[in-house]
Amino acid sequence: MSTKLDQYLAAAKRERTTKAYASAIRHFEVDWGGMLPASGEGVARYLADHAESLTANTLRQRLAALGHWHSAHGFVDPTRMPIVKQALRGIRVVHARVERQATPLQLTDLGRVAEWQSQAITHAQSNNDRPGELRALRDRALILLGFWRGFRSDELIHLRVEHITFEPGGMKCFLRRTKTDTGKTYKVPALTRWCAVDAVREWLRVSGLTEGPLLPKVGPQGQLGTKRLHANSVIKILRSAMARAGLPAQQYSSHSLRRGFASWATRNGWDLKSLMAYVGWRDPSSAMRYIDTTDRFELPASESTTPAVALIAPEPPSAAKREIVLELHLRALRPGGRGARQAHRVIEQNYLSPFAAHRLDAKGTNYRLMMSADELEREEDIAQLLDSIYRVAGDHDSEIQAVLTDPTSGQHWE
């Protein structure tokens, strides 16, 4: 008999994550023949056997699943043992691959798609094509909202009408669940052109929806389904709109909206901390994967800032902060190598800046960071920061010693 505790425990698990973890455990135990609980050496051998066939990201996901299994069953987590970290670092060096990334949707191309969809809406209305009108309205709302809020496809399809609130200057979207948060409200500012708020408002007015999925299926006769779109439908909708607007559709994916916004914001002077707060990233490495740093110097000045589109990043949420001191010691593993200097620069610019890092010495071996006063959130941030620091050092063939200290309590992490 199900209890309230069972319901809460089930709710705490993301369905897709649960399935992915179960698949990873099955692959380790059944397909590969590993033993659970596992040893650090066993996990390292598992990584080595799949280093050529699986990407580093996939291997990290498998490690996360194994670590979760051991922690959930009360065993020591073997994925945190030095031999496993060294094996993964070596795999990244030997089997370095170019990371495949979605093409970011540029602002001018977003405008082309939005303008084409507006024409499609007008054409459908003049021909009494109710299904065509509804699809064009829904798809325009999906694309504009996905771009200007940096939503993932699974976030878009989980939006509900009753959780949309219009207010002066924009609207609010409440999501019961995202990849990194449980229950979060997102503000969507109103714009002068290609406005997501106007697109959503018009879609709701014409469709007559008052509850249920914001982006449901549209039937052949214009009937609106009660079920939300499937996540895989988002890429089909996006590519179809791109193709009809005369763009090379196949190079885009659902991540193109998120990457497009992140690149646009970066070119327009947003700092990493503001971008992370707006989109909802907690790990700087996640944000950096979406920022297109190669095209900002190639883009014409007229396109990097569009006066007709006024969007201002909201201030990062105010929260109590606590001072943490970071001590870093970097050295190159090879004499005369520049890896340590490069690693230091990457760590400082990409991973310390979100914590308002301030150098305490000229060499940059000591920093003062500001972190959340909430203990659980601080512990998670510290774990992610240390993991990122060691990963960057390994990627640059360098050795690092990092120690974080809480001056108030004397607690330290390394």
CATH code at 56?
A: 1.10.150.130
Mean pLDDT comparison of 2-6, 167-171, 333-337, 357-361, highest-scoring range: 167-171
pLDDT digits (tens, 9 = 90+) for 7-20: 555 555 556 667 77
363 or 171, higher pLDDT: 171
pLDDT at 140: 92
Residues making up the chain, counted from first to last = 414
The whole domain housing 14 covers: 4-94
Q: Are residues 54 and 29 in the same domain?
A: yes
Of 284, 280, 393, the residue nearest 341 (C-alpha): 393
Average pLDDT over residues 232-244: 86
> Residue 235 pLDDT > 80, yes or no?
yes
Q: Is residue 169 part of a domain?
A: yes
Band (pLDDT 50/70/90 cuts) for residue 317 is: very low
pLDDT at 313: 41
Q: End of a domain among 257, 274, 304? A: 304
Min mean pLDDT across 68-82, 120-134, 358-372 is at: 358-372
> Residue 153 pLDDT > 80, yes or no?
yes
Q: Are residues 283 and 168 in the same domain?
A: yes
Q: End of a domain among 29, 64, 94? A: 94
Q: Is residue 38 part of a domain?
A: yes
pLDDT at 162: 92
146 or 293, higher pLDDT: 146
Band (pLDDT 50/70/90 cuts) for residue 304 is: very low
CATH code at 404?
A: 3.30.70.1130
pLDDT at 320: 59
Min mean pLDDT across 93-107, 127-141, 194-208, 352-366 is at: 93-107
80 or 408, higher pLDDT: 80
pLDDT at 127: 92
Q: Is residue 314 part of a domain?
A: no
The tally of CA atoms less than 13 A away on the side-chain side of residue 24 is 23
Domain count across the chain: 3
pLDDT at 248: 84
Q: Are residues 138 and 237 in the same domain?
A: yes
The mean predicted confidence, pLDDT, of the chain is 77
pLDDT at 28: 87
Q: Are residues 126 and 37 in the same domain?
A: no
Q: Is residue 315 part of a domain?
A: no
Distance, CA of 175 to CA of 157 (rounded, Å): 10
pLDDT at 300: 35
Residue 381 in contact with residue 387, Cβ under 8 Å?
no
What is the share, in percent, of the chain residues with pLDDT greater than 90? 7
Distance, CA of 198 to CA of 157 (rounded, Å): 19
Q: Are residues 90 and 143 in the same domain?
A: no
pLDDT digits (tens, 9 = 90+) for 62-107: 888 888 888 888 888 888 888 888 888 888 777 765 555 667 888 8
Q: Is residue 388 part of a domain?
A: yes
Q: Is residue 259 part of a domain?
A: yes
Residue 286 in contact with residue 354, Cβ under 8 Å?
no
Q: Are residues 266 and 150 in the same domain?
A: yes
40 or 284, higher pLDDT: 40
Q: For residue 350, how many other CB atoms are within 10 A of its CB? A: 17
232 or 130, higher pLDDT: 130
DSSP-based three-state secondary structure for 276: helix
pLDDT at 86: 85
What is the share, in percent, of the chain residues with pLDDT greater than 70? 77
Q: End of a domain among 94, 125, 160? A: 94
Q: Are residues 209 and 345 in the same domain?
A: no
Q: For residue 135, how many other CB atoms are within 10 A of its CB? A: 20
- pTM for this prediction: 0.60
> Residue 270 pLDDT > 50, yes or no?
yes
Beta bridge partners of 66: none
Question: What residues have CB less than 8 Å from 9, skipping those under 6 apart?
Answer: none
243-250 — which CB contacts under 8 Å span 24+ positions?
244/116, 244/120, 245/109, 245/112, 245/113, 245/115, 245/116, 246/112, 247/109, 247/112, 247/113
Task: Quote the strand ranges of 207-298, DSSP E.
Answer: 216-218, 224-228
Average pLDDT over residues 340-362: 76
Min mean pLDDT across 23-37, 95-109, 121-135 is at: 95-109
Q: Are residues 134 and 204 in the same domain?
A: yes
DSSP codes, 55-104? -HHHHHHHHHHHHHHHHHTT---GGGSHHHHHHHHHHHHHT--PPP-PPP
pLDDT at 170: 86
195 or 12, higher pLDDT: 195
pLDDT at 249: 74
Q: Is residue 70 part of a domain?
A: yes
Q: Are residues 266 and 198 in the same domain?
A: yes
pLDDT at 325: 65
Beta bridge partners of 404: 326, 413
pLDDT at 144: 92
Average pLDDT over residues 150-170: 88
Of 250, 268, 257, 352, the residue nearest 304 (C-alpha): 268
Distance, CA of 346 to CA of 154 (rounded, Å): 31
Band (pLDDT 50/70/90 cuts) for residue 203 is: very high
Band (pLDDT 50/70/90 cuts) for residue 188 is: confident
Q: Is residue 311 part of a domain?
A: no
> Residue 190 pLDDT > 80, yes or no?
yes
Q: Are residues 166 and 218 in the same domain?
A: yes
Q: Are residues 261 and 149 in the same domain?
A: yes
Q: Are residues 8 and 79 in the same domain?
A: yes
Residues 278-316 as b/e (b if ≥16 CB within 10 A, e otherwise) read bbbbebbebbbebbbeeeeeebeeeebebeebebebeee
